[in-house]
Amino acid sequence: MIPIATAEEMLNLGVKLSGYLRAGDLVLVNGPLGAGKTVLAQGVGVGLGITGITSPTFVISRVHKARVPFIHVDAYRLIDSENPNLYLDDLDLDIAGSITLIEWGGAESARLSDDRLEITIDRDDEVRKVEIKPVGNRWVGFSI
């Protein structure tokens, strides 16, 4: 568990995380509204040399050009849809050639890769608690 007291610390965690990421990596980020999911994504972007990342809530996904493309998805509007798997597939994400981060990435997103990082942000207290769960062979022995 990583304690995060400020938005700057969340951004810095994203920057640090970006140093471990490469093409084909999938990162699922979950937590309540206002937990800091987009700030974490912005930090990953900064680490990849990308600025101006905003939440893709209404467009659902954005591809940011970088040495390795960064796909930022917000699946919030898909969660309660009739068939979230179908809608996620319709996004035609190039996961193999990109770093993909999905906010609100549940089971429908987890099926996209056997190797992924599952990040949960808890904001029950003033200090957020971030848990990073490595899944699959790619992430064996990972810690940050």
Show the domains of the chain with their CATH numbers: 2-136 (3.40.50.300)
Tokens 């809608």 belong to 87
Report the DSSP beta bridge partners of residue 133. Answer: 118
Pairing of β 99-103 and β 128-135: unpaired
The string of pLDDT tens digits covering residues 22-57 is 999 999 999 998 899 999 999 999 999 998 887 755
Burial class (CB in 10 A: 0-12, 13-18, 19+), 74: buried
pLDDT, tens digit, for every residue of 102-142?
887 777 778 778 999 999 999 888 899 999 999 999 999 99
Check: pTM over 0.85? Answer yes or no. yes
